[in-house]
A and B are shown apart, each in its own frame.
Chain A
Amino acid sequence: MASRVLLQCVRSLGRPSLRLSAANLAVRATAAPAAARRPLSFAADSRRPRWLGQSSIPSVGVLCRQYGDLPPLTLETIKDRVMYVLKLYDKINPEKLQTSSHFMKDLGLDSLDQVEIIMAMEDEFGFEIPDAEAEKLMSPGEIVQYIADKKDVYE
């Protein structure tokens, strides 16, 4: 009787992700006739709803570990974020902003504004840019290139 109950379990839970538990069931099914019948049936009944509960969780089908990290950067996302931050800066006219527009010549900013912009980029991307290299970044395209170099983003 216990083996019939167990076989019904195996048929109703016929999914590939549960092959392991089905194998356990098969092992227990073979061991069932040897052991006492009644306590095993109780055990099988108590185990069945728990396995049913567990079977609904892995709906993805692939069990893999997920570590906490940001999504990977691409050149497109870097460019979008840089342009977004620049548009929020109040001294820049959003209509005139292009990827290749020079801060000093095209947009009419001065070196203090450029320092503020580099600070805003540091805040956005979360890593420090040293002074010597920060002085040389004079257009959004150069900033994107620099960040891509630092973060090892290849296309």
Chain B
Amino acid sequence: MTASTRSTVLSLYMRVFRIARTWQAQSGVTGDTETERKYILQEARTLFRQNQQLKDQESVKKCLEECEARIEIGLHYRNPYPRATYLPPMGLATQKGRKLRAQQRLRKQAKPIYLQSQDET
């Protein structure tokens, strides 16, 4: 990891912490504010730790984009939780017919950037 990406990662981490410090929930309930602040901190810690060992530039850039997307979306909608999209199991149409590998490939492509680190259940 180059020095510039390292400093970008650390400044993003600090930015998330600063957002969490002054976060106010949209519902106005104090319990919700506390829960959402804890959620933001916990998500940041787990996801940054999980992706700490990545070495190649592509995946690091993707994770940085994911982080920035989640920050912008969360600030805009005042909601720190990512918006889950629902796709039925064989939902994407392929050209050659219903094959599983093509499905998986298309699904990976169709997943939004801000959901990259979440598992599909």
A residues near B (Cβ < 8 Å) are 110-112, 115-116, 118-119, 123, 131, 134-135
Asked if B10 CB lies within 8 Å of chain A CBs, one says yes
Distance, CA A115 to CA B45, complexed state (A):
11
B45 neighbours in A (Cβ, 8 Å) = 112
B residues near A (Cβ < 8 Å) are 6-7, 10-11, 13-14, 17-18, 21, 45, 48-49, 52
Assuming the A-B contacts A131-B7, A135-B7, are A115 and B21 also in contact, with contact meaning beta carbons closer than 8 angstroms in the complex? no
Inter-subunit contact B17/A135 (CB<8 Å): no
User: Given contacts A112-B10, A119-B21, A123-B21, could you give 17 more A-B pairs where the C-beta distance is less than 8 Å?
Assistant: A111-B6, A111-B10, A112-B13, A112-B45, A112-B48, A112-B52, A115-B13, A115-B14, A115-B17, A116-B17, A118-B14, A119-B14, A119-B17, A119-B18, A131-B10, A131-B14, A134-B14
A135 neighbours in B (Cβ, 8 Å) = 7, 10
A123 neighbours in B (Cβ, 8 Å) = 21
B7 neighbours in A (Cβ, 8 Å) = 131, 135
Of A112, A118, A119, which one neighbours B49 at CB under 8 angstroms? A112
Distance, CA A56 to CA B49, complexed state (A):
64
Distance, CA A116 to CA B48, complexed state (A):
12
